[in-house]
Structures are given as C-alpha cells and as structure tokens.
Amino acid sequence: MLTVRNLKLLQTTRKILFIMTDTHESKYFSHSPSVTRSQLLKTGSSFQKCSKESNGAIKTLKRKVKKEKIEIKYETDTSYDNVGGIKKEKWEPSTWRDQLKNIHEMRKNRDAPVDSMGCDVISDVTAKPEVYRYQVLLSLMLSSQTRDQVTSAAMSRLREHGCTIDNILKTDDQKLGQLIYPVGFWKRKVEYIKKTSQTLLDQYNGDIPKTVEDLCKLTGVGPKMAYLVMKCAWNEIQGIGVDTHVHRISNRLGWHQKPTKQPEDTRKSLEDWLPRELWSEINHLLVGFGQQTCLPVYPKCSVCLNKQICPYGRSYKSPKKSPKKLPKTEIKNEEPV
C-alpha cells in the first residue's frame, strides 16, 4: 500500500515533469529558476524509490487476487426441513405443470357430476349460514363410498324433510334411513349423523367446528371431509382433500416420490411440493377428471392429453373387447299337421 509520503512525492514529480516538457514559458524556468538541479535529482531518486514500493504493492495484490477463487452459487428451489431448520432440495414431478395444464383443458366444460352435484352445490345456499354449513357437513358424510348422483338425491330428500340439526334429531332412525337410502353403508351413516348432530348441538351451539382437528373428532368425519368442509363451509384452505379420485390419479401421474397407499399419505406428499395457491382447486379438478376420463376401470387413456407424459398412460394397454355374442334363437318345433 502507498504511504501518504510516497503519494505526495508522486504528485510533486508529476508536476515537475509537466513543467519540463511544457514549451511555454514557466515561472519555474525563468531567468531565476526556483527549482535547482539538486532538488530535481533528489526528487527523482525519491520517485524511483516510490515507484519500486508501488510496483511491489501491486504485485503482492495481484498474487492475493489470484489465490482467492470466486465461487458463484446459483439459488435452487429449496425448502426447510422440519428438524433443525436444515435447508434441503425441494422435490417436484418434472412434468406436473404440463399435466395440470392438460387436465384444465379436458375439464374446461365443467360438465362432470361433481360440477353440478358437489357438496357446496347440493346444500341450501339460501339457508342461514349455520344451517348451510351443517348441510355441507352432512352431504360429505353421505358422499363416502357413494356416487354423486345418489348423494345429491339423498340430500334433496333431506332438505324437503327439513335438514336442520333440531329436525334431524327429532327424526327416528327408520325414517332417516329411508331418506338417505341407498347411499353406501346407509345404516351406519344413520348412526353417525345422529351422534354428530347431538355433538354439534351440545358442544358447538348448533354450528360446526371451525378447525380440522375438531372436525375430525366428530363421529364419521375423517381428514378428507374435514379439509373439504373448511373449504366449502368456512372458505378456508388448510389442506388438500384427498378422496379416491385424487389418490388414484396423482399416483398414476407420478406425483409422488414413492407410490402412496393411503389417502392421508397422498395428502402429505402433495402438500410437500404442490404450490399452496393450487390446493383449493386440485380436489374438484381431479375428481371431475376421474369421473370422465381417468376412470378406475378402463380409463380413457387413448383420448387423454396426458397420454405421452403420464407413466400410467404410456404403459396402459386397452383390453381387447371380446366379440358380442349373438343372442340364442329358440328353434320351435312345428306341430305336425
């Protein structure tokens, strides 16, 4: 590094050199010069010394720069581990955006059963808020292991009968069974509905719980129902509702690092990588897609836009249809004339 003394010497030397090379008359080189030869020689020797020190400092600095390697790190998509706040790489399916875009295209008409018979549609939106929320809860309880058409018809009968907590508790089990039949496991659901309705009256002042944890404490209510109730009844997104369609389709599309066996495992896996702003739509979107295209049995992979980017679709071979058997014709024996 240059000292202050050396810097001043450099400035003085530059000034003298400029005067010596200037062709114009200067006050320093008039008839009575103020700068003597001995001063110039002294300044020159100091300049040489200063130059040597400067060159040495520059060389040292260059050596330091060469030794220090600059490493450029590019930020990758990462997330924090729950344990110790350790940063880890975030996994996501490689083609999920294209797959989701294609599903949106195939679902653009919104004409699947879930679009006209979902739990938020078949409940009475004109009723009091607490009554509407109660009906949303009941419709989801009835929908388990039941087609949307059957659930919608059962809810229609319940609404005509009077689908309020007080009225349902006054209805005897036999009558309630007749109203919801033929939903899946209808006898068990009669028991669930009665117990849950009594709990809502006793502990929640005739309304439904406002947290997933409390909803799951109700008889006959699981995580899938709880997350959908929070979305449809309370307009809050706290998780992804995973039913049989979401579970099946997400595994077929390869949306999990390892195939999941239980819906709750599927929910946790999806929530690990799927952007939160898509949680509200993913259930409704995939349910309709599963009802129309990605069927449980004999899926329509041949017309699916994801056929080439879906692991299941690429390997799926549609079964050969056996030729229709001709109806047997009865040969009548003619009576003798």
- Report which of 174, 178, 112 is spatially closest to residue 149, judged by C-alpha positions: 112
- Report which of 119, 128, 126 is spatially closest to residue 154, judged by C-alpha positions: 119
pLDDT of residue 238: 96
Q: What is the pLDDT along the chain (337 residues), one digit of tens a residue?
A: 555 555 555 566 565 555 455 544 444 444 444 455 555 455 555 545 555 555 665 555 555 544 445 454 444 444 555 555 555 678 999 999 999 999 999 999 999 999 999 998 999 999 999 999 999 999 999 999 999 999 999 999 999 999 999 999 999 999 999 999 999 999 999 999 999 999 999 999 999 999 999 999 999 999 999 999 999 999 999 999 999 999 999 999 999 999 999 999 999 999 999 999 999 999 999 999 999 999 999 999 999 999 999 999 999 987 766 555 545 444 444 333 3
Angle at CA 35, nearest 5°, toward 32 and 41?
A: 140
- Report which of 293, 298, 262 is spatially closest to residue 107, judged by C-alpha positions: 293
- Report which of 197, 221, 198 is spatially closest to residue 211, judged by C-alpha positions: 221
> Would you please indicate which residues are annotated as catalytic (active-site) residues?
224
Mapping DSSP to helix (H, G, I), strand (E, B) and coil, where does residue 78 land?
A: strand
Q: Tell me which residue has tokens 């109806």.
A: 327
Cβ contact 307:313 at 8 Å = yes
Bridge-partner residues for 79, per DSSP?
A: 88
Contacts of 180 (CB under 8 A, 6+ apart): 142, 154, 157, 158, 186, 189, 190, 193
What distance in Å separates the CA atoms of residue 271 and residue 223, rounded to the nearest whole number? 14
Cis peptide bond upstream of 263, omega within 30: no
- Report which of 223, 224, 221, 191 is spatially closest to residue 208, judged by C-alpha positions: 221
184-188 contact pairs (CB < 8 A, 24+): 184/144, 184/145, 184/146, 185/144, 185/145, 188/220
What distance in Å separates the CA atoms of residue 108 and residue 118, rounded to the nearest whole number? 17
Mapping DSSP to helix (H, G, I), strand (E, B) and coil, where does residue 87 land?
A: strand
Bridge-partner residues for 88, per DSSP?
A: 79
String of DSSP letters for 73-103: -----EEE-TTTT-EEEPP--TTHHHHHHHH
Task: Give counts: helices (H), strands (E), the chain.
Answer: 15, 2
Cβ contact 125:132 at 8 Å = yes
pLDDT of residue 335: 39
pLDDT of residue 52: 58
Q: Output the six-digit token pair for 14.
A: 């530059």
Q: Which amino acid is at 42?
A: K
Mapping DSSP to helix (H, G, I), strand (E, B) and coil, where does residue 212 land?
A: helix
Alpha helices in 162-217 (DSSP H): 165-170, 173-180, 186-203, 212-216
pLDDT of residue 70: 45
What distance in Å separates the CA atoms of residue 236 and residue 254, rounded to the nearest whole number? 28
The per-residue pLDDT for range 145-199, each reduced to its tens digit, is 999 999 999 999 999 999 999 999 999 999 999 999 999 999 999 999 999 999 9
